[in-house]
Structure 1
Amino acid sequence: MNVNKVRACCAIVIAMMTLDAVAQSKPIAYPSKGQSAQQQQKDDGACYSWAKSNTGIDPTTASAAPPPQGGPAVGGGERVGGAARGAAGGAVIGAIAGDAGKGAAIGAATGTVAGGMRARQNKRTQEANAQAQSQGAMSTYYRAWAACMQGRGYSIQ
């Protein structure tokens, strides 16, 4: 198994764990001193503002997935690079076999496919890393929010 496949597998596992953690990450505040629902809502808003200003993290933007990178030419040059490497290798093999041009064409096509695979693996890894970073930010925010709510007399789970 090559390094890129291992990275892609790790990225997928991290993304799945992160998505599961995001769904379970917001702590629950229980009014342990008999606070009314209206008071709890008021305290929640105050703690939201306090945690946001003290951590610099806004949970409404931090939990949103980053916009996908790339467009029709997804790959950031991996396909072109793969085609060039494949053409060079194919030309060498083709020259040995007697037809360098045909070998270069076959190598370029194969290199383009390999470059596309590499581009997709890199994109999956980047998405998983962005998701993990977002989860870390949310965890920091929720720790601050929980500290504020505990200070106002709530039990946090």
Structure 2
Amino acid sequence: MGKMFKSTALLVILGCCPVVAVCEAELMVFPAKGQTPQQQSADEQECRNWAINQSGVDPARLSAPASSANQQNSRPVLRGAAKGAAVGGLGGSLGGEFGKGAAAGAAVGGLVGGMQNRRQQQATATTDQQAQQIYNQQIDSYNRAYSACLEGKGYTVK
């Protein structure tokens, strides 16, 4: 049993399980008591419904979380550089060195904007990871219920 859940979890992490048919395709169901294909089909449908009721998860309505970590945003860096240049230029103009002040301000502002961008990316990655964990738990709950039902009807599930 442990092996089945590890492989199912791996498949879910890889994004191979957005709908019921794909999740169940990864579970191998063997009619251990000589059930006919028609009986197996009926039992599988009954177990799908039972698993949905028991787990509260309907994989057909559950979508894998989309990752937003790959969407890099350079706006905080540019915004920081622009603000820094304005402030630095203003400070430099007071001392007669507008260009130097603007350049220094842009550099510092760009660094600050870059730090803000990295913090945002870290927060996004954490949110994505939490969403993936919740999704994995939901699919795992459904698969455990589905497998238990089929095993109770005399099937071997791996």
Q: TM-score range by the shorter chain?
A: 0.5 to 0.7
Match of residue 44 from structure 1: 44
Match of residue 114 from structure 1: 115
Match of residue 13 from structure 2: 18
CA contact (8 A) 1:47 1:149 kept: yes
Number of residue pairs matched by the alignment: 133
2: CA distance, partners of 1:107 / 1:53: 57
Deviations 1:8-52 (A, max 9, x none): xxxxxxx99932896888432210111111111111111001110
Kindly provide the amino acid, as one letter, of the partner of residue 138 in structure 1.
I
* SS of alignment partner, residue 59 of structure 1: coil
Match of residue 65 from structure 1: 64
2: CA distance, partners of 1:38 / 1:24: 21
Moved more, 22-31 or 52-61: 22-31
Match of residue 29 from structure 1: 29
TM-score, normalization: structure 2? 0.62
Q: Which has the larger radius of gyration?
A: 2
Bigger RCO (CA 8 Å, 6+ sep):
1
1: CA distance, partners of 2:73 / 2:55: 35
Q: Between the two proteins, what is the percent identity of the paired residues?
A: 26
**Cα RMSD after superposing both structures:** 4.1
Match of residue 4 from structure 2: none
Shift of the alpha carbon at 1:83? 3.4
TM-score, normalization: structure 1? 0.62
Which 5+ residue runs of structure 1 have no aligned equivalent?
1-14
CA contact (8 A) 1:43 1:149 kept: yes
